[in-house]
Amino acid sequence: MQRFPLKNGVYPNQAHVRIPEGTYEMEYGREGFFGEATHLYTKEMPSAWKRIEGPLRPIAMDCRTIETSDLADPNGTPALLMQSMAACARRSLSIYLTRRREPMPFLYRTVDGDELYFFHRGVGVIETEFGILPYRPGDYVIIPKGCIYRLVPESKDTLAIISESRTAFGIPDRGILGSHALFDPGVIQYPDFDQKRSGLNGGDVELQVKRAGIRSKLIFDYNPIENVVGYKGTVLPSKLNVRDFRPISSMRYHVPPTAAATFASSEVYVVTFAPRFLGDDEVLRLPYYHRNVDYDEVIFYHEGVFFSRGGIEPGMLTLHPMGIDHGPQPQAWERDRQGLTKQTNEYAVALDAVEPLFVAPDGAKGIIEAYSTSWYYPIETPQLAQV
């Protein structure tokens, strides 16, 4: 998302010009050197880890010593020096669940994607190079790819869904509704640089770096978060609470869910379902059944009664894959007949994924078997699958 540069601490007003004395400049940017960027100013060289573990590391090769088969044999071939991983390893969207109870005893960074946290339960802070970002239930937190951070829960009940998108999240165009629709960008919050602190100090500090799903460790004798003494730029974490989301509703028109698109990347649309009016008796208030063929639809249920669902409680998640028609469940029609769907009190987060999603072994442990036939056999009580 394009923003005017935020500035904190020690920084020059132009990149690469008059670097503050005693600091190093590091460009933290997107799309190579062509996209948005933030420049961080550090006390130590940012790459001065004192130990490194795992496969990820800077590599140098002396090509003069590598004997290729085509060196002596005209029919020989070049030597394979390196190869990208299989395309399937570059997943476009991964959805994780964290239930972390204790602070990370390490710092973390992923280059597999931008992360969008949605905090369902728990309070705490996220320590970042840009300062402290507190979180509470209902917070969306976007952590751009490559940002160093540390999750520090301050309660024992954290439950958050993390969407890791290969490409950056932005705010969809509001069209004729105007740029202040749904939420004014003014409610977006950024880390508090003045509270820049980290609980990881003294002794070795470990930074775990995830690339292609594999974690490596960089070990420093200083804290890379505390190392930043200033910055200027637009690439940094941000957050929005769902209670600041103000959906569009109409008494005469069934507003489609896409009108509540909150964030989007090329891989996923993030839609917020928030309390709203659902229309008069002429209007179809419940969702229309639909044959979704372009998106796999995930919904995480956060709070309230989900007006289109039966047997689904806060903290649950559904996946309606492409090719599987779906819509309101029988209980929803009954509530509608009783006049209970004039407005909703629900908070839920929909993730419409461009690429097909496949349930991983840990996700399978939470499957509610009866859901797949719950339009025919309504369920009121969640029935967790036996694992």
Instruction: List residues binding Fe ion (CB under 5 A).
Output: 297
Query: Smallest distance, Å, CB 295 to Fe ion?
Result: 8
> Between residues 297 and 303, which has the closer beta carbon with respect to Fe ion?
297
Strand partners of residue 125: 134, 152
Sole residue written with tokens 């941000």:
238
Query: Smallest distance, Å, CB 297 to Fe ion?
Result: 5
> Between residues 50 and 290, which has the closer beta carbon with respect to Fe ion?
290
Integer Cα distance of 21 and 83 in angstroms: 41
Query: Smallest distance, Å, CB 178 to Fe ion?
Result: 27
Q: Which two tokens stand for residue 261?
A: 């698109």
Determine the residue type at 42.
T
> Between residues 134 and 321, which has the closer beta carbon with respect to Fe ion?
321
Helices (H), the chain: 69-72, 330-337, 361-364
Query: Smallest distance, Å, CB 216 to Fe ion?
Result: 39
Closest C-alpha among 96, 248, 265 to residue 170: 265
Edge-to-edge strand ranges of the sheet holding 24-29: 6-9, 228-233, 37-42, 24-29
> Between residues 214 and 284, which has the closer beta carbon with respect to Fe ion?
284
Q: Which two tokens stand for residue 234?
A: 């637009």
Query: Smallest distance, Å, CB 290 to Fe ion?
Result: 6
**Which helix (H) or strand (E) element contains residue 90?**
none
> Between residues 103 and 321, which has the closer beta carbon with respect to Fe ion?
321
Integer Cα distance of 380 and 387 in angstroms: 21
80 CB-near residues (< 8 Å, 6+ apart)? none
Query: Smallest distance, Å, CB 299 to Fe ion?
Result: 8
Cα distances from 319 to residues 179, 184, 200, 312, in angstroms, run 31, 30, 38, 12
Query: Smallest distance, Å, CB 310 to Fe ion?
Result: 15
100 CB-near residues (< 8 Å, 6+ apart)? 151, 153, 158
> Between residues 297 and 346, which has the closer beta carbon with respect to Fe ion?
297
Integer Cα distance of 209 and 109 in angstroms: 5
Length of the chain: 387
> Between residues 219 and 259, which has the closer beta carbon with respect to Fe ion?
259
> Between residues 244 and 297, which has the closer beta carbon with respect to Fe ion?
297
Query: Smallest distance, Å, CB 352 to Fe ion?
Result: 8
> Between residues 112 and 296, which has the closer beta carbon with respect to Fe ion?
296
**Half-sphere exposure for 85 (CA within 13 Å, toward CB):** 9
Cα end-to-end span (Å), the chain = 42
Nearest residue to the partner Fe ion, using Cβ:
297
CA dihedral 8, 39, 161, 278 (to 10 degrees): 70
> Between residues 258 and 266, which has the closer beta carbon with respect to Fe ion?
258
Q: Which two tokens stand for residue 117?
A: 């946290």
Query: Smallest distance, Å, CB 275 to Fe ion?
Result: 19
Query: Smallest distance, Å, CB 326 to Fe ion?
Result: 6
Q: Which two tokens stand for residue 55?
A: 């496969």
